[in-house]
Amino acid sequence: MKKRVVGALIAAAAGGAYLFEGMERPRTYPAGVCRAVDGDTLDCAGARIRLVDIDAPELNGQCPAEIQMAERAKLAAMIALASAPAHVTPERGKDRYGRLLARVSVDGRDLGQTLMAQRLARPYSGGRRGDWCG
């Protein structure tokens, strides 16, 4: 237990983790600290974040149209994250890849909803992803 608390304190001091007793808590990152890995994955000071409730196309997609849309989704997320602080609210623990599942708002707007409004992402509730090429 003592090692776990010390490890969490060291990680928190480094700015990459915010675990206390195994519970994630909301955190706000200054503009430009979070970067888009792709349309639905962010890196915020070393913490990998997966946006909940959306699916964005993959950068290594199945067709040129998916790849082009994935690049546009990533760019839109990057622009939003550079313009204002990002408020990260953890929702469901971590996914199978170790990413924190969270809702992210930028300038008071949900980033996932913003990407969906721009038709660069779609609703997702788990399970099999839809095809972006059809």
| 23-81 pLDDT, tens digit each | 479 999 999 999 999 999 999 999 999 999 999 999 999 999 999 999 999 999 999 99
The lowest-confidence range among 31-35, 67-71, 94-98, 99-103 is 94-98
Residue 2's pLDDT is what?
Answer: 53
The mean of the pLDDT values for the chain is 86
> CA 64 from chain center: how many Å?
24
Distance of alpha carbon 85 from alpha carbon 50, whole angstroms: 17
21 — pLDDT class (breaks 50, 70, 90): very low
Residue 130's pLDDT is what?
Answer: 84
Distance of alpha carbon 93 from alpha carbon 75, whole angstroms: 26
Cβ distance 34 to 50 under 8 Å? no
Residue 107's pLDDT is what?
Answer: 92
